[in-house]
Structure 1
Amino acid sequence: MKFERFVAVRYLTRRQGLFAFITTLIGVAGVSVGVAALITTLSVMNGFQTDIKDKIIGAQSHILVFGRMSKDTYQKNIRLIEQLPLVEAAAPHIYGQGIITYAGQSVGLIVRGLDPEQEKKINTLADSVEEGSFTPDWPEDAPPPLVLGSELAANLGADIGDDVVLISPQSISTSAGMFPKMKKFRISGLLRTGYYEFDNTIAYTLLSHASDFLGLRQGTTGIAVKLHNINDADKAAAQIQDVIGHGYSVRTFAQLNSTLYAALKLEKTMMFIILFLIIGVASLNIAGNLILLGTEKLRDIGIMRAMGASPRMIRKIFMWEAMVIAGLGIVLGLLLACLLCWIIATFNIVELPGDIYYLTKVPVRMQLWDIVAVIGGSCLICFAAGLYPAVKASRVHPTDAIRYG
Structure 2
Amino acid sequence: MFRPLSLFVGLRYTRAKRRNHFISFISLISMLGIMLGIVALIVVLSVMNGFHTEIQARILGMASHATLSNPYGDMSDWPDLLERVRKHESVIGAAPFVELQAMLANGSDVSGAQLRGILPREEDQVAELRRDMIQGDMDDLVAGKFRVILGRELAAYLGVGVGDRVTVVTPQVSATPIGIMPRLKACTVSGLFAAGMSDYDRHAGFLHLEDAAKLMRLGSGVTGVRLKLTDLFEAPRLVRDIAYDLGGTYRVIDWTQHHRNFFAALRTEKRMMSIILFLIVAVAAFNIVSTLVMVVTDKRPDIAILRTLGASPARIMAIFMVQGTTIGAVGTLLGIGGGIALALNVEPIVAGIEGLFGVHFLDPNIYYISKLPSDLRARDIAWVAAGAFLMSVLATLYPAWRAARTDPAEALRYE
Question: TM-score, normalised to structure 2's length?
Answer: 0.93
Rounded Cα–Cα distance in structure 1 between residues aligned with 2:114 and 2:78: 21
Give the secondary structure class of the aligned counterpart of 1:186. Answer: strand
Q: CA deviation at 1:179?
A: 1.4
Give the secondary structure class of the aligned counterpart of 1:181. Answer: strand
CA-to-aligned-CA distance 1:175-206 (integer Å, 9 cap, x gap)? 44321111111101110111111111111111
In the alignment, which residue of structure 1 is the partner of 2:389? 379
In the alignment, which residue of structure 2 is the partner of 1:53? 56
In the alignment, which residue of structure 2 is the partner of 1:258? 260
In the alignment, which residue of structure 2 is the partner of 1:399? 409
In the alignment, which residue of structure 2 is the partner of 1:32? 35
* Structure 1: 5+ residue stretches without partners: none
In the alignment, which residue of structure 2 is the partner of 1:292? 294
Rounded Cα–Cα distance in structure 1 between residues aligned with 2:229 and 2:379: 24
Which portions of structure 1, spanning 4 or more consecutive aligned residues, are displaced by more than 4 angstroms?
none
The one-letter code matched in structure 1 to 2:180 is M
The one-letter code matched in structure 2 to 1:150 is R
Rounded Cα–Cα distance in structure 2 between residues aligned with 1:148 and 1:213: 17
C-alpha distance 74-212 of structure 1, shift in aligned 2 (>3 A) = same
Cα pair 1:149 1:203 within 8 Å, conserved = yes
Rounded Cα–Cα distance in structure 2 between residues aligned with 1:355 and 1:103: 28
In the alignment, which residue of structure 1 is the partner of 2:194? 192
Cα pair 2:141 2:207 within 8 Å, conserved = no
Cα pair 1:134 1:205 within 8 Å, conserved = no
2:234 to 229, 232, 236: 232
Rounded Cα–Cα distance in structure 2 between residues aligned with 1:75 and 1:300: 86
Q: CA deviation at 1:132?
A: 0.6
Q: CA deviation at 1:44?
A: 0.9
5 Å matches for 1:109-128?
Answer: 109-128=113-132
Q: CA deviation at 1:404?
A: 4.5
Give the secondary structure class of the aligned counterpart of 1:357. Answer: coil
Rounded Cα–Cα distance in structure 2 between residues aligned with 1:249 and 1:256: 13
In the alignment, which residue of structure 1 is the partner of 2:111? 107
In the alignment, which residue of structure 1 is the partner of 2:398? 388
5 Å matches for 1:83-98?
Answer: 83-98=87-102
Rounded Cα–Cα distance in structure 2 between residues aligned with 1:316 and 1:39: 31
Of all paired residues, the percent bearing the same amino acid is 33
RMSD between aligned residues: 1.8
Rounded Cα–Cα distance in structure 2 between residues aligned with 1:357 and 1:237: 34
Rounded Cα–Cα distance in structure 2 between residues aligned with 1:404 and 1:110: 86
State which drifts further: 221-230 or 394-403. 394-403
In the alignment, which residue of structure 2 is the partner of 1:344? 346
Rounded Cα–Cα distance in structure 2 between residues aligned with 1:137 and 1:219: 19
* Structure 2: 5+ residue stretches without partners: 355-359
Give the secondary structure class of the aligned counterpart of 1:159. Answer: coil
CA-to-aligned-CA distance 1:249-288 (integer Å, 9 cap, x gap)? 2111111001111111111111011111101110221111
The one-letter code matched in structure 2 to 1:227 is L
Cα pair 2:120 2:141 within 8 Å, conserved = no
Cα pair 1:134 1:206 within 8 Å, conserved = no
Rounded Cα–Cα distance in structure 2 between residues aligned with 1:6 and 1:31: 24
The one-letter code matched in structure 2 to 1:101 is A
Rounded Cα–Cα distance in structure 2 between residues aligned with 1:327 and 1:54: 38
